[in-house]
């Protein structure tokens, strides 16, 4: 009896791992389709249709959709089901205001940050600009590396709570930024802008009209306008 029970547990563990793997693959495919523009904002995500097209069960699709909802890429509405999230202009403005508070604090902390945190800023910058100039990265990858750079600025503060807040903000913004990247195709310009910011930081030029803080403020303000304009938000 104990041997049978142990064998059963082993089989069930394998089944559980296989199910989790399938859910992850489905979520990854849906995420890719959203970032690549195959699923536009507002597109309904029907469990049955997705299950049939992806060759998986409806419960698997349901779990994958739950993951996208948790990430802010999809929304669930009563009696209407799940749909790809649609950015709202006021939300974009509010997120950008909050970004300035958090990332601005990071820029001001550059001088007192340890070398490990400074190195993290350089590493995320290199990862982003390398992906941009390599020309083969997906919009999802570019987006992740772009946002990782901005989170690394907040890491300069040394505050885990502020970093967690920044990561939450980036989750809210990632869909809108990906759509802008796809529409404007200006990733090279963005890469150069981020390099300019780090150049100012490394020269310890933080304050003043030509310093890193003012540079970052203009960057975030421009991003707010660009997102709202490119996506036709009101």
Give pLDDT, residue 210. 96
Residue 203: predicted pLDDT: 97
CATH, residue 24:
1.10.10.10
Q: Quick one: 19 and 59 in the same domain?
A: yes
Q: Identify whether residues 123 and 202 lie together within a single domain.
A: yes
Q: Please indicate, yes or no, whether residues 52 and 21 belong to a single structural domain of this protein.
A: yes
- The number of folded domains in the chain is 2
Among residues 84, 107, 140, the one where a domain terminates is 84
Domain boundary among 26, 56, 84: 84
Residues 12 and 127 placed together within one structural domain of the fold: no
pLDDT per residue of the chain (234 residues) written in tens, 0 to 9: 454 454 444 553 444 445 668 899 999 899 888 887 788 888 999 999 999 999 999 999 999 999 999 888 899 988 889 999 888 899 999 999 999 999 999 999 999 999 999 999 999 999 999 999 998 888 888 888 999 999 999 999 999 999 999 998 888 888 887 777 777 666 677 889 999 999 999 999 999 999 999 999 999 999 899 888 888 887
Alpha carbon separation from 177 to 116, 119, 137, 227 (Å, rounded): 28, 25, 15, 7
* CATH for 224: 1.20.120.530
Domain shared by 35 and 113, yes or no: no
Q: What range does the domain containing 204 cover?
A: 89-230
pLDDT score for 1: 46
Q: Are residues 75 and 152 in the same domain?
A: no
130 and 222 part of one domain? yes
Same domain, 10 and 80: yes
Q: What is the pLDDT of residue 186?
A: 62
| Single pTM value for the model | 0.78
> Do 138 and 79 fall within a single domain?
no
What per-residue confidence (pLDDT) applies to 69?
A: 92
Q: Are residues 22 and 75 in the same domain?
A: yes
Q: Tell me: do 72 and 166 sit in the same domain.
A: no
Q: Is there a single domain that holds both residue 118 and residue 74?
A: no
């Amino acid at each position: 009896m104990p041997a049978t029970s142990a064998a059963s547990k082993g089989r069930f563990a394998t089944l559980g791992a296989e199910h989790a793997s399938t859910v992850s693959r489905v979520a990854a495919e849906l995420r890719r389709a959203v970032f690549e523009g195959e699923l536009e904002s507002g597109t309904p995500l029907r469990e049955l249709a997705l299950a049939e097209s992806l060759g998986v069960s409806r419960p698997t699709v349901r779990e994958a959709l739950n993951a996208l909802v948790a990430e802010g890429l999809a929304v669930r509405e009563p009696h209407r089901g799940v749909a790809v999230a649609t950015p709202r202009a006021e939300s974009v403005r509010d997120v950008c205001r909050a970004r300035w508070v958090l990332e601005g604090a990071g820029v001001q902390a550059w001088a007192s940050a340890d070398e490990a945190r400074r190195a993290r800023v350089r590493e995320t910058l290199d990862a982003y600009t390398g992906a941009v100039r390599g020309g083969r990265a997906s919009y999802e990858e570019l987006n992740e590396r772009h946002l990782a750079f901005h989170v690394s600025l907040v890491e300069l503060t040394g505050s885990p709570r502020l970093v967690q807040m920044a990561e939450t903000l980036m989750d809210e913004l990632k869909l809108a930024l990906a759509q802008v990247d796809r529409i404007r195709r200006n990733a090279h310009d963005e890469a150069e802008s981020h390099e300019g910011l780090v150049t100012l930081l490394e020269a310890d030029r933080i304050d003043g009209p030509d310093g890193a803080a003012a540079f970052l403020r203009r960057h975030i303000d421009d991003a707010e306008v660009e997102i709202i304009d490119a996506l036709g938000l009101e």
